[in-house]
Amino acid sequence: MVALVILPGMDGTAQPRAEFVAALGSGIEPRVVSYPPDRSGYAELEALARAALPQDRSYVLLGESFSGPIAISIAASSPPQLIGLVLCATFARNPRPFLGTLRSLLPLIPFGLAPIRLTGAFLLGRFASAPLLESMRSTLAEVPMATLKARIGAVLGIDVRPALSRIRVPVLYLRATEDRLVPRRCADTIAAAIPQTHIVDVEAPHFLLQAAPTATTAAVRAFIETLPQTAAKQAIPS
């Protein structure tokens, strides 16, 4: 059975991905990596993700939003047993470069004061249902605001584009059609650097695993069905 290792979004928890995981059905073993609420740097979170990778079976790595750069970095190193990469509403560098200048001001920005309905209206748009808003509220309550700000700061400084050309496994990019955080060009940048990338547009907001679990699981299952069941050993050019 192929494993699907899921690296979560900025919250770093498993709960918001529960419906997506349940919709995967049989034949795929989902493994959601959770990030400790006091860890925020990409390097330390990548180390945690690498420690969770299966050693006894083939697997596909899924990097959601914040975790995309971690998944890219891992895939570029051609770890044993990796047969495919799924990138979900994510990026190889800061998706909003003009915000990089605000990195030093993050500790002063009162993110936590915005009502959840206002935050949800921006992030979810017309998909802002009561269940999704409640899921967002309960998830944010589990992660310290200082950690969320630190992870936002990490996003503003990240750039793993040099790693893209070293990825040899097939890649599926799930692009949300109504994403207000990650522009469409982020998928195009990745596809331009990795020729074996297949982009699937899903009618959803940025949180597409949560808002469109049926469509995303269908795309992931179809992708996995095209993959070899064992990892090929390929040399990475120096």
Residues 90 and 155: their CA atoms lie apart, in Å, by: 11
- Residue 238 included in any domain: no
The CATH number of residue 124's host domain is 3.40.50.1820
- Residue 81 included in any domain: yes
Sequential pLDDT tens for the chain (238 residues):
899 999 999 999 988 899 999 999 889 999 999 999 999 999 999 999 999 999 999 999 999 999 999 999 999 999 999 999 999 999 999 998 766 556 554 554 555 545 666 777 788 889 988 888 888 888 888 899 889 989 999 999 999 999 999 999 999 999 999 999 999 999 999 999 999 999 999 999 999 999 999 999 999 999 999 998 777 654 444 3
Residues 226 and 223: their CA atoms lie apart, in Å, by: 5
Residues 89 and 66: their CA atoms lie apart, in Å, by: 9
- Residue 156 included in any domain: yes
- Residue 236 included in any domain: no
- Residue 234 included in any domain: no
Residues 121 and 142: their CA atoms lie apart, in Å, by: 21
Amino acid 124: pLDDT? 87
How many angstroms separate the Cα of 74 from the Cα of each of 57, 108, 208?
A: 17, 33, 23
**In this structure, what token pair is assigned to residue 238?**
């120096």
Residues 6+ apart with CB under 8 A from 70: 7, 42, 45, 46, 49, 63
Domain encompassing residue 36 = 2-225
Report the SS3 class of residue 202.
strand
- Residue 235 included in any domain: no
- Residue 176 included in any domain: yes
**Residue 60 near residue 86, CB atoms below 8 Å:** yes
- Residue 231 included in any domain: no
The count of domains in the chain is 1
Residues 6+ apart with CB under 8 A from 163: 72, 73, 76, 92
**In this structure, what token pair is assigned to residue 142?**
């589990």
Amino acid 19: pLDDT? 92
Assessment of whether the complete model's pTM goes beyond 0.75: yes
